[in-house]
Each structure stands twice: as structure tokens, then as C-alpha cells.
Amino acid sequence: MTEGMREDSARRAAPIPALSDPDRLRSLAETRLGAAPDEAFDRFARLVADLLDVPVALVSLVTADRQFFPGETGLPEPWAGRRETPLSHSFCQHVVDIAVPMVLPDARLYPRVRDNLAVPDLGVVAYAGMPLTDLDGRVLGSLCAIDNKPRAWTAEQLRTLADLAAACSSELRLRIALQGAEQARQRSEEAHQRLDLLAGLSETLAGTLDVDTALRRLGDTMVPLLADWCLVSLVGSNGSPRDVVSAHRDPTRARDVTRFAELMGTRLGPQSITRAVLRTGRPVLGSAATLADVRRGTIGAEMSEIAARLGFASHLSVPITDAGRGRVLGCITLVNGAQRRPFDDGDMITALDIGRRAGQAIANSWMYGEQRHVAHVLQHSMLPQLPTTDDLELAARYQPAADRVEVGGDWYDAFVQPGGDVIAAIGDVAGHDIEAAATMGQLRNLVRGNAYGRPDAVGELMTHLDGAMRGLRIPVAATATLVRLRADPAGGQWVTWCNAGHPPPLVVRAAGAVQVLDGTPEPLLGLARAVRRTSRETHLAAGDTLLLYTDGLVERRDRSMDESMAELVERLGGTYRLGLDEFCDLLLTAADSREDDIALLAVRAR
């Protein structure tokens, strides 16, 4: 037969459906055998050769496209070295097909195999093959005896071959059982790891109220425990993924997986699995996946090329859900490469649980953000617009604590009296809630109504304010500093102040010195008994700055108030050259690890 005739015969061979049976192939894979010598199966081949007196004996296992020989004796080269052949050179595939012994005294006389290339290339003439089966009776291959000349097989020889095939099948079943036990052990370990993961995941996600941080923590938690790489995305207003974060078990693939995540925002097509999950809220499991799945769901070739480098053999996509509102917030996509087992239903159950927990954390983060925004708007709506005068420059700042959404009781105020004096005030109402903010608003309005148009000393104004709080039954304790600034005809400003339990004002002199305007401490506002308040006075020269502030600027759990005040005075020592806005911003920037809201009001004499 010519080479062309051989190829034509091979092409005419009809495919055998049994070879592609997924259960059979799965069982075959669980033997963990391949085209490499295995001593146990080589021993079976030698026994067949010795007992049946044949030149060639094989333990042949057949896949969908080839046969390989974990046991072999007598094959000519190059086949002995390769220990495998294509199906064009396989008689054993027909044993898988018919699932019974195949005995051929002279293969050249049988239409099923006479054109098989094993006849001329391997010298197969006489053939006797017994099925090798798993516990469910699926035929994985054949234990076969081969002669290079016609042969009449005796009943005793076939009985011996059948007995050896039964023993060989038992060895295959043992290998499958051992692999099953190993897989069960691995699944048990994975189950424990998943339980540990789920137990710690809520705590991990609850550790931040920032959505981006939560997504990054989620990705880092799942890789490599659950997948080789993953993508976590939120749904955008147009239904496409946005804010995609990614993680890969191999740090050298960080650039590729980051680029893949970037492309998800613009290069997903109508058939994208991620889009489908975001739209329907239903999970998608791809136990056996190919790059064709990526190409089908994306636009252009770049994403499939990157997926090939990252590894893409199975995938699992589940929704991130907000159960309380019944909406899909995003999608988690897990991907495994060819070296890792494919995803299964157990993985889907775990991933769905993760999606629910992540959804709860993200919904809480968004709710926190909305509440914080409302709180900030409310707080700032209560803060006044500062006046503009020829003799004074004023600047103020309010900054809430970074870890709280509540509005607080910190406030400041400044307004011009009919005679030209400026009244400045700062205070802090106890509490960090809506009631504290409402009381703060009442107190600020009381200060304005009590002081506007009255020439009284600030001590008298504070005494009257204290009485008004008691008379109007405003049930709160508050600290405050009240200041009157009056122009000095000789230049600068006369400053009188009264302090009711508040941190002392500071003056940064134009020459650089810092003065603490302290004195005998006076009680808070709102106490049950009446208190006579006192006034104190100092002078501001041109360029001097008066600083009023709340305790959030100086209070720390790890140090005393005296230490904090000394640190603030030291910090102010080099600020006299700064513009007033820069001065205020510097104070806020330096107030790291804030544990309370900060309000400050700075007044500079021109």
C-alpha cells in the first residue's frame, strides 16, 4: 500500500462514538496514567508475551484521539520509545467500541481493520484483545497479544489472556479508587478552606467602608484559594462592568490581568458572560472552557490573547447581590488554568455565598457614603458665610472625623456689629448625632441674637447666653469661646474674649511668637447653676493671627492635653509667613489620626 493510500484509508475510517464518552474519558483520566512506563503494567505485558508466546504484548488505553501504552513489550522503534500511536494505528479502539474481546487470526482478512496502518507499520497480523474496564463496566482499553504472522489462538491462550485482563482491570480500578480517595481528601481540605474563607470574609469586608478597598480585599482573598485568577466588577449605569479589580496567583501576570480588567469596561460584546450575569443575576458555570468562549464574548483579539497567557480552562461567574433590595450590584468571575481542576457545583455554591456577602458589604459601603454625604451637606449648611471687613481677614475650616457619618456639634460663627466691631465665636455641643447638630444650630442662633447690636463685654454676653440656655431649657452641655474684635485707632485690633470650658485661643504674632490666651478655667455652658463669666483682653498688631479651634485639633487618646497643646504651639511657630487659607489647610493636614470633628476660625489683623 502506498503512503497516499494509507492516508486515504485513515481518512475514511469512521469515528467511534464510544471513544468520546465523557464518563469514560473522566475515568481514564483518573487512572493518572500516560505514555510513560509503569512497572505494574509492564509486568502484565511481559506475562502475556511469555504465557502466550507472542513477540508483542500491550496494555493499551485509548483516548478520543490516540492510544498509549503504560505496559509494553516487543514494539519496534520508534513506537517503543514513544509508547503511543494515533488511532490510525490502533486495533484496541475497536475493543472499546464493541466492548467484548476481539480475536483475529489474520487481521488482513477482516474489513474492520485490514486497512489500519498498524498492519504495515507495526507488523500487526494476528491480534487478540481483551477489554480493560472500570468498576462501571466502561471499556478503557485493551490487554492485547500481537503476532507478526497468522495465528490460530487456542481456547487456553484466550482464557489466560482473559484472566490477565481481569487482573489488569483490577489494577486500573485500584488506581482510579486511589485517585478518587485523593480527590475526596482534597475536596475535604478545600471544604475546610472554604469554610475558613467564608468565616473570615465577612470580617475582612467589614474592615472597610470604602468600596474600592472592599473589592481589592475580595479579589486577594479568593486567589489562589478558589481560583488561579479572578475579576470583581460592579455594574455601571449602562449595564456594563465598571470599577473592575483583578488578581492572579502568579505575580508576573499582574500586568496582563490588570489589562484584561481594563478592557472589560469597553471590549465586552453582546454575548459576554459577565454582561449576562449582570443583566439576569444568574450564575454561569463553564467546567470545560476554551478560548473560543472568550472570543465569542469580546470585541477584538486582545482579550483572548491575554486569557491564553493567564490560563483559561474553566470559569465560574456569579452575581454580587444586594438581597435587601433585590438588585445585582456586580459580578465575580473565577478562572482556572489547565493545571487546576475545573470548577464544579460545590464551587458555585461557595461563590454564590461570597457574592451575597460581598453584596451586603458593598451595599453597606454605599449606604454609608450616602449618609455621610447627607451629613456633610447638613453640617455645612449650618456653617455661616464669613464677613468681609477692611481691618480683618477671616478664614474657617470644618472637617468631620474620617471614620464617622454622623453630623456633630462643632460650630463657628463671625458677624459684624452695627458699630463695626466683629463678634467671633466657636463652640462644641456634646454628641455626634442629629440632636447635637440641631442643638448646635440653636446655640449659634442664640449667640447671634444675644450679641447682635449689644455693646456689652463678652463676659456679660456669655453670662446672658448661659441664662438663656437654662431659661429655654436647652438640655445640653457645651463649650464655647466668644470674642469681640474692635479696631484700635492707633493700629491693630483690641481683642476681648470669654472662654466657657473651651480650648484656649492662640495668637500667632507677626514676628513668629505663639501666645496661648489661657486663664482661670470657667465652667461649660448649660450647667444648672448660674455662673458669672469674665472677660480678658489682648491686642493684635498688623499681621497677628487669632486662632479659635475645637478640641478635635488637639485631643488624642495617647497623650495628655498639655502635650497636645505644646505640640500645636510648636507647629504654629513657623506659620506666621503663610497666607490665612494656607495656614488653615496646614493645620488640618497636620491633624492626622483624627478622633473627632475639627472646626477652626482664624482672624488676622491687616
Please check whether residue 376 is in contact with residue 398, taking contact to mean a CB–CB distance below 8 angstroms.
no
Cα–Cα distance for residue pair 428/598, rounded to 1 Å: 10
Question: What residue numbers bound the domain in which 96 lies?
Answer: 3-178
Beta-bridged to residue 229, according to DSSP, are: 248, 335
Closest CA to 35 of 95, 74, 86: 86
End residue of a domain, out of 372, 400, 419: 372
540 phi and psi, to 5 degrees? -105, 120
- Looking at the structure, tell me whether residues 496 and 443 fall in a common domain: yes
Q: What pLDDT, on the 0 to 100 scale, is given for residue 373?
A: 61
- Looking at the structure, tell me whether residues 392 and 449 fall in a common domain: yes
Cα–Cα distance for residue pair 460/450, rounded to 1 Å: 10
Cα–Cα distance for residue pair 275/266, rounded to 1 Å: 12
Residue written as cell 478552606?
Answer: 193
Residue 116: inside a domain, yes or no?
Answer: yes
What is residue 281's three-state secondary structure?
A: coil
For position 568, which CATH number holds?
A: 3.60.40.10
Average pLDDT for 326-354: 91
- Looking at the structure, tell me whether residues 325 and 400 fall in a common domain: no
Q: Is the pLDDT of residue 370 over 60?
A: yes
Cα–Cα distance for residue pair 500/484, rounded to 1 Å: 15
| Percent over 70 (pLDDT), the chain | 88
Cα–Cα distance for residue pair 421/548, rounded to 1 Å: 17
Residue written as cell 479508587?
Answer: 177
546 phi and psi, to 5 degrees? -95, 130
How does the average pLDDT of the chain come out, rounded?
88
pLDDT in tens, 383-400: 788 998 999 999 999 887
- Looking at the structure, tell me whether residues 412 and 288 fall in a common domain: no
pLDDT in tens, 146-164: 999 999 999 999 999 999 9
- Looking at the structure, tell me whether residues 66 and 173 fall in a common domain: yes
**Per-residue b or e along 517-555, where b marks 16 or more CB atoms closer than 10 Å to that residue's CB:** beeeebebbbeeeeeebbbbeeebeeebbbbbbbbbbbb
- 24-28, 303-307, 358-362: least confident range: 358-362
Please check whether residue 365 is in contact with residue 576, taking contact to mean a CB–CB distance below 8 angstroms.
no
Q: Is the pLDDT of residue 405 over 50?
A: no
Neighbour count for residue 56 (Cβ, 10 Å): 23
Beta-bridged to residue 147, according to DSSP, are: 126
pLDDT in tens, 127-142: 999 999 999 999 999 9
Residue 144: inside a domain, yes or no?
Answer: yes
Vertex 380, ends 378 and 385: CA angle to 5°?
A: 135
Residue 468: inside a domain, yes or no?
Answer: yes
Closest CA to 232 of 242, 344, 307: 242
Please check whether residue 335 is in contact with residue 311, taking contact to mean a CB–CB distance below 8 angstroms.
yes
Q: Is the pLDDT of residue 294 over 80?
A: yes
Q: What pLDDT, on the 0 to 100 scale, is given for residue 14?
A: 66
Q: Give DSSP secondary structure letters for 346-371.
A: HHHHHHHHHHHHHHHHHHHHHHHHHH
- Looking at the structure, tell me whether residues 353 and 421 fall in a common domain: no
- Looking at the structure, tell me whether residues 290 and 429 fall in a common domain: no
Residue 184: inside a domain, yes or no?
Answer: no
Which residue stretches of 250-344 are H helix? 254-263, 273-280, 291-297, 302-310
CA atoms within a 13 Å half-sphere pointing along the CA-CB vector of 151? 21
Residue 536: inside a domain, yes or no?
Answer: yes
Q: Is the pLDDT of residue 592 over 60?
A: no
Average pLDDT for 53-66: 97
Closest CA to 72 of 42, 112, 28, 34: 42
For position 244, which CATH number holds?
A: 3.30.450.40
| Residue 425 pLDDT grade (very low, low, confident, very high; cuts 50, 70, 90) | very high
pLDDT in tens, 216-244: 888 888 899 889 999 999 888 777 888 89
Q: Is the pLDDT of residue 7 over 50?
A: no
pLDDT in tens, 550-561: 998 988 877 888
Q: What pLDDT, on the 0 to 100 scale, is given for residue 203?
A: 62
Please check whether residue 450 is in contact with residue 461, taking contact to mean a CB–CB distance below 8 angstroms.
yes
Residue 194: inside a domain, yes or no?
Answer: no
Average pLDDT for 451-458: 94
- Looking at the structure, tell me whether residues 367 and 394 fall in a common domain: no
Helices 211-222, 155-206: axis angle to 10 degrees equals: 160
Domain count of the chain?
A: 3
- Looking at the structure, tell me whether residues 320 and 218 fall in a common domain: yes
Residue 556: inside a domain, yes or no?
Answer: yes
Please check whether residue 69 is in contact with residue 59, taking contact to mean a CB–CB distance below 8 angstroms.
yes
92 phi and psi, to 5 degrees? -65, -25
Q: What pLDDT, on the 0 to 100 scale, is given for residue 557?
A: 77
Environment class of 489 (CB within 10 Å of its CB; exposed 0-12, middle 13-18, buried 19+):
exposed
Instruction: Report, in angstroms and rounded to the nearest whole number, the Rg of the chain calculated over CA atoms.
Output: 42
- Looking at the structure, tell me whether residues 307 and 172 fall in a common domain: no
End residue of a domain, out of 342, 372, 402: 372
- Looking at the structure, tell me whether residues 462 and 368 fall in a common domain: no
Write out the H or E segment, with its range, that includes residue 184: helix 155-206
Please check whether residue 395 is in contact with residue 602, taking contact to mean a CB–CB distance below 8 angstroms.
yes
What is residue 474's three-state secondary structure?
A: coil
- Looking at the structure, tell me whether residues 294 and 174 fall in a common domain: no
Give the amino acid at 153: W
Residue 471: inside a domain, yes or no?
Answer: yes
Average pLDDT for 333-343: 93
Cα–Cα distance for residue pair 165/131, rounded to 1 Å: 7
Q: What pLDDT, on the 0 to 100 scale, is given for residue 366?
A: 67
